[in-house]
Amino acid sequence: MATLTKHLLSEIDSISSRRFIIESTEASAADVFHVTTTTATTLDEIWVYAHNYSSADVEVTLLCGLTGLPSTKEGNVSESVSVTIPYKSGRALVFDGLLMSHGLSAAAYASSTNSITLDGFVNRIT
């Protein structure tokens, strides 16, 4: 029988579950916010929320299932989700239970630096 345990996103865990600030504006330097375990029988179900605290709408691109960062924006189109987060909109759900495993990572970049924060959690299924 499968067991489910709740965890913080791996790269947010190290800063006491504070929101993760997206600093990067380029795919090749995207900010990694979660890395899955390398255990073959473990799945991470990832839930991520974005918040725009700037004074304008900001486009954020989330990259998932990465083994490394792409060299260009077009380099990982099949593994990316782009969404515009309106300012003053509160937290917006951007990953709704995305499943990843095998040591893959998730990263993000935005059209404006230091304007988008991420938070969320992982349901680890073993």
- CATH architecture assigned to 19-121: Sandwich (2.60)
The one-letter amino acid at 102: H
Q: How far is CA 17 from CA 8, 14, 88, 106, in A?
A: 7, 7, 22, 17
Q: What is the pLDDT of residue 80?
A: 83
| Confidence (pLDDT) at 66 | 76
Q: What is the pLDDT of residue 77?
A: 54
| Domain range list for the chain | 19-121
**Binned average pLDDT, 10 residues per bin, the chain of 126 residues:** 90 70 92 91 95 96 80 60 93 92 91 95 94
Cα separation, 125 vs 7, whole angstroms? 11
> For residue 80, with 0-12 CB atoms within 10 Å meaning exposed, 13-18 middle and 19 or more buried, which class applies?
buried
Q: What is the pTM of this model?
A: 0.87
Pairwise CA distance, residues 76 & 117, whole Å: 22
